[in-house]
Amino acid sequence: MADLSVRICGIEFKNPIIPASGVFGYGREYEQYYPLSKLGGIATKGTTGTKRTGNLPPRVAETPAGMLNSVGLQNPGIDAFLANELPHLLSAGTVILANIAGSTPEECAEVAAKLDRTDVHMIELNISCPNVKQGGAAFGTSCTAAAGVTRAVRQATKKPLVVKLSPNVTSITEIAKAVEAEGADALSLINTLLGMRIDLRTRRPVLHNNMGGLSGPAVFPVAVRMVWQVANAVSLPVIGMGGVMSGEDAAELMAAGASAVQVGTAIVQDPYAPLRIIDELNAWLDANHIASAAELTGSVRPW
C-alpha cells in the first residue's frame, strides 16, 4: 500500500482527498455512512459574518456531464458555526479547512479573526463564488480586489491561509501571483465556471438566478490546465479541484501540480465517492509502483 499522506503548509493530511466546500455541509449528514476520520480533510460550507438564506429556488440543476448550482452561500453565520458546528468537526479526526466568504474585505477579515482564536487547522478564503452579488467572484476576477481581500484576511489571522481562485478570469496566474504577494500560504482551484441553461418549455432559465456555477466532469480539463498553469507560476502549494470523479482523475490533477485534491459533484451523485476515490488512487499508485502520493505532485512532463 502506497503512502497516501501529504503535507501542506506544515500540516499533515493522512491522504490527499478532501470533500469540497458546499457539497459536504459540515459533515453531519455523512457520518451515518462512514467515519469522517477516513478523509484527508474537510472543507466546510462557506461561512460569512452573519446568517444568509441563499438564493431563491430553483438553485440546482443537472446538466450533461455536470451540474449547475446557484445556492448563494446559504449558511448560519460565523457565530452559529463556532458554537454549533466547529467543536464537532474538530473531533472528527481529520484536517478542517474553514471556508469563509464575505461581501467586503472587512467582513472576511472579521470572520477570519474569530476563527483565529479556534483550533481550526486552515482557513480557505473564497474569492470566487459566482452566485452572490457582492464579494465572491467580484474579489477573484481582479488582481487589485483579490490582493486587497487577501491582505485584509492575512492581517486578521496567523492560521495557514488558502485562497480559492475563480476560473472566470482572463489570466488565473496573475490573480495567483497577486494573492501570493499579499501573504497567501496556499491556493485552491478551480471554483465553478459560470454557466446557464434554459428550459424551452417555459422559456425560463433552469435556475432562478439565471446563471450559476458549472461543476462536474465537464470542467475537469479546465481544472487540469489551470492547476498546471498556477503551479508553475507561484511557489505556493496548490489544492486542485474541478470535476474529479475517480482516483485516476485525482492522480492526473496531482501530476499537473496539485498537492491535494478536493471532490465536489461526485459526492452529490454518491456519498461514498471520497472513500472510493481514496481506494482507487491507492490502487493506481500500487499498480504503477509509486511509493507515495506526494511523488505525483508536479510530475507531468510537458512536450
Cell 466532469 appears where?
217
Please tell me the distance from the alpha carbon of residue 215 to that of residue 116, in angstroms, as a whole number. 31
Q: Dump pLDDT digits (tens) for 145-194.
A: 999 999 999 999 999 999 999 999 999 999 999 999 999 999 999 999 99
Reported as a pLDDT band with limits 50, 70 and 90, residue 130 is: low
User: What is residue 129's predicted lDDT score, i.e. its pLDDT?
Assistant: 63
- Residue 234 above 60 pLDDT? yes
Reported as a pLDDT band with limits 50, 70 and 90, residue 138 is: low
Q: Dump pLDDT digits (tens) for 249-284.
A: 999 999 999 999 999 999 999 999 999 999 999 999
Reported as a pLDDT band with limits 50, 70 and 90, residue 140 is: confident
108 labelled catalytic: no
β-bridge partners, 41:
95
How many Cβ atoms sit within 10 Å of the Cβ of residue 7? Answer: 12
Reported as a pLDDT band with limits 50, 70 and 90, residue 119 is: very high
Please tell me the distance from the alpha carbon of residue 52 to that of residue 209, in angstroms, as a whole number. 16
- Residue 246 above 80 pLDDT? yes
Please tell me the distance from the alpha carbon of residue 163 to that of residue 161, in angstroms, as a whole number. 6
Asked whether 294 and 13 are in contact (CB, 8 A), the reply is no
Q: Dump pLDDT digits (tens) for 16-58.
A: 999 999 999 999 999 999 999 999 999 999 999 999 999 999 9
Q: Determine what percent of the chain is predicted with pLDDT higher than 70.
A: 97
- The catalytically annotated residue of 9, 108, 129, 143 is 129
Kind and range of the H or E run holding 246: none
User: What is residue 31's predicted lDDT score, i.e. its pLDDT?
Assistant: 94
User: What is residue 141's predicted lDDT score, i.e. its pLDDT?
Assistant: 84
- Residue 133 above 60 pLDDT? no
Q: Dump pLDDT digits (tens) for 284-301.
A: 999 999 999 999 999 999
User: What is residue 96's predicted lDDT score, i.e. its pLDDT?
Assistant: 98
Q: pLDDT averaged over the chain?
A: 95
Beta strands 122-126 and 161-164 are: parallel
Reported as a pLDDT band with limits 50, 70 and 90, residue 139 is: confident
Q: Which residues contact 92 (CB under 8 A, 6 or more apart)?
A: 27, 35, 36, 37, 42
- Residue 85 above 70 pLDDT? yes
Q: Quick one: CATH architecture of 6-296?
A: Alpha-Beta Barrel (3.20)
